[in-house]
Amino acid sequence: MLPDGGGDDEERWLAEGIAGVQQNAFYMHRALDSNNLKDALKYSAQMLSELRTSRLSPHKYYELYMRAFDEMRKLEMFFREETRRGSCSVVDLYELVQHAGNVLPRLYLLCTVGSVYIKSKEAPAKDVLKDLVEMCRGIQHPLRGLFLRSYLSQISRDKLPDIGSEYEGDADSINDAVEFVLQNFIEMNKLWVRMQHQGPVREKDKRGKERNELRDLVGKNLHVLSQIEGVDLEMYKENVLPRISEQVVNCKDDLAQFYLMDCIIQVFPDEYHLQTLETLLSAFPQLQPSVDIKTVLSQLMDRLSNYAATSPEVLPEFLQVEAFAKFSNAIGKVIEAQVDMPVVGAVTLYVSLLTFTLRVHPDRLDYVDQVLGACVKKLSGKEKLEDSRATKQIVALLSAPLEKYSNIVTALELSNYPRVMDYLDNATTKVMALVIIQSIMKNTTCISTSDKIEALFDLIKGLIKDMDGAQDDELDEEDFKEEQNSVARLIHMLHNDDHDEMLKILCTVQKHILQGGPKRLPFTVPSLVFSALKLVRRLQGQDGDVTGEEVPATPKKIFQILHQTIEALQCIPCPELSLRLYLQCAEVFLAQLIDSFYTSSYCVTAFLIQAANDCDLEPVAYEFFTQAFILYEEEIADSKAQITALHLIIGTLQRMNIFGVENRDTLTHKTTGYSAKLLKKPDQCRAVYACSHLFWTDDQDGIMDGER
């Protein structure tokens, strides 16, 4: 336990400690220069006694330790030179330093001489290392013991009896090297964890920060272990990993568990992780609930997926060890063990698992759907997600298949994809719908079956109709227009060369967009009309009765769909805007179909009449004329708009040769009557003059009658 003291007191204590180190180091150097071994040991022990302090924080203690460490390197060089010259036996020196008065200076000196002892090769390295690691048990103060063992690790790392090393002994020496590092690691971790439980509870957070600064002292042991050449896959699998995992689980400290699991993943090779996946993953459910498991597991999956991406030849190994199944089971056990894990944590794990699956097993859609299904299971029983972090992760989860496959059709085959999307709030559902549409546009994906389109419109329903609880009035007008324009562009990507299937597609689109309400129809209906009329032209000359459930694609059936759509559009309380949008569609098609047909006028119905005329459908064309007259009477009040609409009707009727005499007379007299009722006399004259051409048509019998 550190005494309570301000920052000024700690600085003063550190200054006193450094002064003590410098003073004794000065006398030690003077003794070294005079080859006075006795005084050199005396002053070095006094210098090291400064490290016995308990008044410094770990950060300040580290500064003091580094001052002493630099001096000890010089002392080690002196010992090495003395033994080389034969002035002193290294065995005698090893025994001599054990007579130091205090245990901490004694052990520092013992480690220093032990390094020289191993270097001299007068004793097997494994025996000296075993002796040193056992002797260091004499310091149980957490801070002092941690730095002492760190010193031992530092001076011995290049003297381990490894394969190919100059200190290699018999066949079992590699086991001794591994045992030394493991034992030192275990003892250091115990000391490091013990630091958290010393001192008052109110300083718990402070101690956690101080411990975090010392974590590299413990982690360096694992790095040293990973650098030992003799640690092959078999030894790692049978000895190293089980021992480390046992220590990590048993320490029951969240900081230590998180850091050490991360160290294991970072320092050991990827192929070792792949072959020991079951052992490594079995530790995760046993970690403390407060450990950030999602980050560590995500890093492991990212490393292995990168390994698979850079080394395609190892992909069969992933299948052989059943990596996906093991990760999936481990994540399920972790979520089950940590009942208080927030939703964002669980979803983040599934995002990492999905990323791993898409990179390692991109051809296994069943794996992808299984991940989405597990996420749905975790979210079941919950309402719409309100946590912005969890929502962001759900969007990442749903976006991953789109980015990987670049084809929404593949995503539509995932049965759990829309089920995950159901947990998004209304605003995020729209965002995700836009992501889906942008993916279709970017990859120019053509969706060609009504079933797929039904599934697609279910995914983007947030854009095509009002959702429960949604408040579109609060949406920015520009954003709303952009959303609906995206839907309109999407409709043009729906195509099939088979006429009957294309008709099913049009019916499916109509069913969905007519649910959009008055704000959306002006944006989406023109695209539907555009697509439907393209199909009409493809079917020109065909006709048939609308009977049975499986209706063949005929112009009559398509005109019925268009008629229903226009009726829905007429109900919108902004008819002029709707009519102008229809006219834009009509003008484009008229320019393509009939070069002689000119329009700059008002209503798309006239274009539909011309199309019906080309397909020889008199009843349908007559019905559209009737609808045109209804629109004229009920919707068009402006005098200029009336003139434009009348001239469009007159011009269209003039080119029609489908009507019999009776129907044509009815339409002609109706048009003439409207012309005579215009507001201004000049307008009446021009309109009636134009109507006079309706009474004489060269290419239709019964119409060329001068008396009429």
Q: Provide the mean pLDDT of the chain.
A: 84
Task: Work out the pLDDT band at 551, boundaries 50, 70, 90.
Answer: low
Over range 326-339, report the average pLDDT.
Answer: 91
- DSSP H or E stretch at residue 39: helix 37-49
pLDDT at 635 over 70: yes
Domain segments of the chain: what residues? 9-122, 124-268, 604-707
Nearest-Å Rg of the Cα atoms of the chain is: 42
Residue with tokens 């090893």: 94
Burial class (CB in 10 A: 0-12, 13-18, 19+), 583: buried
pLDDT at 588 over 60: no
Give residue-wise pLDDT tens across range 182-228.
999 999 999 999 998 887 888 888 888 989 999 999 999 999 999 99
Q: Which of 41-45, 315-319, 559-563 has the lowest mean pLDDT?
A: 559-563
- Which DSSP string do the residues of 142-207 spell out, in sequence order? HHHHHHHHHHHHHHHTTS---TTSTT--STTHHHHHHHHHHHHHHHHHHHHHHGGGSS-GGGHHHH
Report the alpha-carbon distance of residue 72 to residue 107 in Å, rounded. 12
Provide the 8-state DSSP code for 220: H
Helices (H), 492-543: 499-513, 521-538
Q: Which pLDDT score, from 0 to 100, does residue 578 have?
A: 46
Give residue-wise pLDDT tens across range 414-447.
999 999 999 998 889 999 999 999 999 998 888 8
Backbone angles phi, psi at 17, to 5 degrees: -65, -45
Residue type, 602: Y
Q: Around Cβ 568, how many Cβ atoms within 10 Å? A: 16
Provide the 8-state DSSP code for 339: T
Over range 133-147, report the average pLDDT.
Answer: 94
Task: Work out the pLDDT band at 518, boundaries 50, 70, 90.
Answer: confident
| Pairs from 580-584 (Cβ < 8 Å, separation ≥ 24) | 581/522, 581/523, 581/525, 581/526, 582/525, 582/526, 582/529, 584/526
The four Cα atoms 536, 537, 538, 544 give a dihedral, to 10 degrees, of 50
pLDDT at 613 over 60: no
Report the alpha-carbon distance of residue 77 to residue 75 in Å, rounded. 5
Give residue-wise pLDDT tens across range 258-310.
999 999 999 999 999 999 999 999 999 999 988 999 899 999 999 999 999 88
